[in-house]
Amino acid sequence: MNGTTETPRPKQRLTLLWISLAALGASLLVLRAAVAAQADPTGEATRSLWTTVGVWTAALLTLGILSFLFRDNPFYKICESILIGVSAAYWMVNAFWTSLVPNLFAKLAPTLVRDTMLPSLPESPTPIADFVLACVPLLLGIMLLCRLVPSVGWISSWPIAMVIGVTAGLKLVSSIESDFMAQVGATVQPALAFDASGSFAFWATVGALVGIIGVLSVLTYFFFSVEHKGAVGKTARLGIWFLMITFGGAFGLTVMGRITLLAQRFEFLFRDWLGIGG
Amino acid sequence: MSDSPLARLNNLDRRWIFLAMGLSIAIPILLKLRFPEYPGPMARATFNAVEAVPEGSTVLLSFDYDPASAAELQPMASALVHHCAARKLKIVFMALWPLGKKQADGTIDRVLKEFHPGYQYGTDYVQLGFQSGNEGVIKLMATNVPEQYKTDSSGTALTSLPLVAGVKDLSAFKLVASISAGYPGAKEWVQYGNGAMPEAFSIVGGSTGVQVSQLLPYYPKQMEGMLVAVKGAAEYEMLVEQKYPVAKPEVIGQGRVRMGPQLVAHLLMIALIVLGNLAMIAGRSRGGAR
Q: Which residue on chain B is closest to A258 by alpha carbon?
A: B209
Say whether both B118 and B135 belong to one domain: yes
C-beta of residue B43 within 8 angstroms of C-beta of residue B227: yes
Instruction: Look at residues B268, B271, B270, B264 and name the one whose alpha carbon lies nearest to residue B33.
Output: B264
Candidates B31, B212, B228: best to mutate against A (most CBs of A within 10 A) is B212
Of the residues A256, A266, A268, A270, the best mutation for testing chain B's interface (the one with the most B CB atoms within 10 Å of its CB) is: A256
Q: Mind listing the pLDDT tens digit of every residue in chain A (278 residues)?
A: 444 555 657 667 777 777 777 777 777 777 777 766 554 555 556 678 888 899 999 999 999 999 999 889 999 999 999 999 999 999 999 999 989 999 999 999 999 999 998 888 888 889 999 999 999 999 999 999 999 999 999 999 999 999 999 999 988 988 898 889 988 888 888 888 888 888 999 998 999 999 999 999 999 999 999 999 999 999 999 999 999 999 999 999 999 999 999 999 999 999 999 988 76
Q: For chain B, say whether A96 makes contact (Cβ under 8 Å).
A: no
Residues of B in contact with A245 (CB under 8 A): none
* CA dist list (Å): A129 to A122, B136, B148: 16, 20, 17
The rounded distance, in Å, linking the Cα atoms of A174 and A151 is 39
Q: Is the domain of B45 the same as that of B146? A: yes
Is there a single domain that holds both residue B266 and residue B238?
no
Helix (H) or strand (E) segment spanning residue B227: strand B225-228
* B214 in a structural domain: yes
Kindly state whether residue A226 falls inside one of the protein's structural domains: yes
Looking at the structure of chain A, the number of domains it has is 1
**Tell me, what's the pLDDT at A144?**
94
| B186 and B274 both lie in a single domain | no
Domain contains B143: yes
Q: Please state whether A36 falls in left (phi above 0), alpha (psi between -120 and 50) or beta.
A: beta
Backbone φ and ψ for A241, nearest 5 degrees, come out as -60, -45
Cβ of B210 within 8 Å of Cβ of A264? The answer is no
Q: In what order do the strands lie in the sheet with B125-130?
A: B125-130, B90-95, B58-64, B175-180, B202-207, B225-228
Distance, CA of B189 to CA of B141 (rounded, Å): 11
Residues of B whose CB is below 8 A from A175: 191
Same domain, B16 and B47: no
What H or E segment, with its residue span, contains residue A196? none
Read off the DSSP letter of residue B52.
Answer: T
Nearest to B18 among A69, A171, A174 (CB): A69
The count of domains in chain B is 2
Identify whether B82 is part of a domain.
yes
Please check whether residue A233 lies inside any domain of the structure.
Answer: yes
* Contact between A266 and B195 using a beta-carbon 8 Å cutoff: no
Contacts of A73 (CB under 8 A, 6+ apart): A67
* Domain contains B45: yes
Which run of H or of E encompasses B268?
A: helix B254-287
Residue B28 lies in a domain: yes
Cα separation, A182 vs A191, whole angstroms: 18
Nearest-Cα distance to chain A for B27, in Å, is 10
Q: How many CB atoms lie within 10 A of CB A136?
A: 10
SS3 category, B257: helix
Contact check, Cβ <8 Å, B132/A260:
no
B258/A263 touch (CB, cutoff 8 Å), yes or no: yes
What is the reported pLDDT for B143? 92
Hey, what amino acid is at B196? A
Residue B270 shares a structural domain with residue B169: no
Q: What is the DSSP letter of B218?
A: G
- Which of chain A's residues have a Cβ under 8 Å away from the Cβ of B265? 259
B266 in the same domain as B238 = no
Q: Are B148 and B137 in contact (CB under 8 A)?
A: yes
Residues 6+ apart with CB under 8 A from B95: B62, B63, B64, B101, B103, B104, B129, B130
ipTM: 0.89
Question: What is the C-alpha to C-alpha distance for residues A105 and A138, in angstroms, rounded to an integer?
Answer: 10
The domain in which residue B79 lies consists of: 41-249
Task: Domain of residue A230: give its range.
Answer: 189-278
Together in a domain, B271 and B231: no
Q: Is residue B254 part of a domain?
A: no
Same domain, yes or no: B99 and B129: yes
List per-block mean pLDDT (blocks of 10 residues) for chain B, which spans 290 residues: 73 91 95 89 97 96 95 96 97 96 96 95 96 92 92 91 94 96 94 86 94 91 94 96 88 91 94 92 70
Within-domain flag for B238 = yes
What does the DSSP assignment read for A156-182?
Answer: GHHHHHHHHHHHHHHHHHHIIIIIIIH
Rounded to whole angstroms, how far apart are CA atoms A34 and A37?
Answer: 8
Q: What is the pLDDT of residue A41?
A: 53
> Based on the domain organization, do B21 and B124 belong to the same domain?
no
Task: Kindly report the pTM of this predicted structure.
Answer: 0.86
On whether residue A275 sits in a domain, the answer given is yes
The CA distance from B285 to the nearest CA of chain A, in Å, is 26
Do both B100 and B174 map to the same domain?
yes
What CATH number is attached to the domain comprising B165?
A: 3.40.50
Cα–Cα distance between B198 and A109 in angstroms, integer? 40
**Residue A74 counted as domain residue:** no
Picking from A99, A174, A246, the nearest residue to B192 by CB comes out as: A174
B114 inside domain: yes
Please tell me the distance from the alpha carbon of residue B86 to that of residue B242, in angstroms, as a whole number: 12
Cβ atoms of residues B202 and B84 within 8 Å: no
Instruction: From chain A, pick out residues whose CB is under 8 angstroms from the CB of B136.
Output: 170
Give the residues across from B206 on adjacent strands.
Answer: B179, B227
Shared-domain flag, residues B110 and B228: yes
- CB within 8 A of B189, min separation 6: which ones? B62, B138, B176, B178, B180, B203, B205
Amino acid present at A277: G
CB contact under 8 A, A264 and B71: yes
**Out of B157, B191, B230, closest to residue A256 by CB:** B230
Bridge partners of residue B59, in order along the sequence: B91, B175
Our CA-based measurement puts residue B83 at a distance from the nearest CA of chain A, in whole angstroms, of: 23
